[in-house]
């Protein structure tokens, strides 16, 4: 068996081909996809519910599955093992396979992640991470599956790269926020100061210093909930991650100053914005707004409708010819 057969069997694109070829050169994983009661327990931890749960259970791999599917899952398991101790700040892509017609191939990542769960539990335990944090973190798998269905109308895991981050210890759901240990510096859409600018900000804010990147779960902007999570964040990093970050950053469409102009100071979005000092000018954010606000994987003003003040403001903004931004901001951790 080789990755070429997997690509041919499932009609994968060139990006997936390259990813699988690289994984093929890694050591065997030794992981086992759970079955029966064990599989059900994992799906409980993933908080897969309703239609998603039923469909995944019906697709769960068994001895009758094609060898190409098993090889696809094994290559994903190899990548999980190889990336378990990936240096902080290094990002690893992951094929989403959302456009693949074979439903089992579309959710092959779920099978690989399920095989890794015992390792995840052991690693969190070794770090002294509270069980409630582990449970909440694993539950994000179900959140992402639901979001993929919302976006694409069928079972998939389009954000597999995001989910994989938690399985290499790069994402922890602590209270009302998700914490990603990283290092300060510009990376992708994340902006930071130049080394010269950062050096004047004080200790702990230099390029390469540890940081917690904040991610906001859906509906997670209640000020008291955010206060509680921020109050726990630095201690969590010190006690369990071996770093002592002075600051946290957030890179999100929610930090676009435009929202303060139209939503007002009573909005939780605006209250959240006021916590941060912005860095740089931001990057185009229309795609993120359409994904997270309208549930659309593409920017198409004519294909969506506005039912809330936020939605109306977004469409009016775009209709005026102005854009929306994804911005990075930072705050000092208590």
Domain map (residue ranges) of the chain: 3-169, 174-332
The 10s digit of each residue's pLDDT in 316-329 is 999 999 999 999 99
Contact 108, 72 (CB under 8 A): yes
How is residue 224 written in tokens? 């008291």
Residue 48 has pLDDT above 90, yes or no: yes
Predicted pLDDT at 1? 84
Residue 227 has pLDDT above 80, yes or no: yes
Predicted pLDDT at 222? 94
Mean pLDDT of all residues belonging to the chain: 96
Task: Give the C-alpha separation, 257 to 324, whole Å.
Answer: 9
- Number of neighbours of residue 136 by Cβ within 10 angstroms: 18
Predicted pLDDT at 89? 83
| Range 174-332: architecture per CATH | 3-Layer(aba) Sandwich (3.40)
Contact 330, 190 (CB under 8 A): no
Residue 218 has pLDDT above 90, yes or no: no
pLDDT above 70 covers a percentage of the chain that reads: 100
Reported as a pLDDT band with limits 50, 70 and 90, residue 187 is very high
Predicted pLDDT at 281? 95
Mean pLDDT calculated for residue range 236-256: 98
Residue 112 has pLDDT above 80, yes or no: yes
CA atoms within 13 A on the CB side of 318: 19
Mean pLDDT calculated for residue range 283-308: 95
Task: Give the C-alpha separation, 115 to 3, whole Å.
Answer: 20
Name the pTM for this structure. 0.95
Residue 52 has pLDDT above 80, yes or no: yes
- Number of neighbours of residue 41 by Cβ within 10 angstroms: 13
Q: Which residues of 206-238 are buried (b: 16+ CB within 10 A; e: fewer)?
A: bbebbbbbbbbeeebbeeebbeebbebbbebbe
Reported as a pLDDT band with limits 50, 70 and 90, residue 124 is very high
Predicted pLDDT at 217? 84
Predicted pLDDT at 230? 97
CA atoms within 13 A on the CB side of 230: 23
Sequence-distant (≥ 6) Cβ neighbours of residue 211 within 8 angstroms: 181, 182, 183, 184, 245, 247, 248, 249, 330
Reported as a pLDDT band with limits 50, 70 and 90, residue 195 is very high
């Amino acid at each position: 068996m080789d990755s070429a057969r997997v690509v041919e069997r499932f009609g994968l694109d060139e990006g997936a081909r390259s990813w699988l070829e690289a994984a093929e050169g890694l050591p065997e994983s030794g992981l086992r996809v759970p079955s029966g009661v064990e599989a059900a327990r994992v799906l409980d931890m993933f908080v897969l519910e309703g239609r998603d749960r039923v469909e995944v259970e019906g697709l769960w791999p068994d001895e009758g599955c094609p060898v190409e599917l098993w090889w696809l899952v094994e290559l994903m398991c190899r990548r999980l093992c190889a990336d378990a101790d990936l240096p902080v700040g290094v990002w690893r892509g992951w094929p989403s396979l959302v456009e693949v017609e074979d439903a089992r191939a579309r959710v092959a990542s779920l099978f690989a992640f399920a095989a890794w769960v015992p390792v995840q539990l052991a690693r969190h335990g070794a770090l002294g991470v509270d069980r409630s944090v582990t449970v909440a973190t694993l539950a994000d798998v179900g959140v992402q599956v639901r979001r993929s269905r919302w976006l694409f109308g069928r079972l998939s895991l389009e954000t597999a790269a995001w989910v994989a981050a938690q399985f290499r210890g790069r994402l922890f759901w602590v209270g009302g926020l998700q914490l990603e240990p990283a290092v300060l510096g510009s990376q992708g859409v994340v902006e930071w100061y130049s080394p010269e600018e950062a050096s004047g900000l004080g200790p702990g804010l230099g390029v390469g210093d540890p940081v917690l990147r904040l991610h906001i779960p859906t509906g997670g902007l209640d000020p008291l909930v955010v206060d509680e999570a921020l109050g726990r964040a630095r201690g969590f990093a010190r006690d369990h991650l071996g770093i002592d970050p002075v600051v946290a950053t957030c890179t999100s469409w929610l930090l676009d100053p435009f929202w303060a102009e139209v939503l007002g100071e009573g909005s939780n979005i605006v209250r959240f914005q006021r916590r941060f000092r912005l860095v740089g000018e931001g990057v185009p954010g229309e795609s993120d707004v359409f994904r997270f606000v309208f549930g659309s994987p593409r920017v198409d003003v004519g294909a969506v409708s506005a039912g809330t003040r936020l939605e109306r403001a977004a469409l009016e903004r775009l209709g005026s010819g102005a854009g929306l931004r994804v911005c990075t901001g930072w705050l000092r951790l208590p």
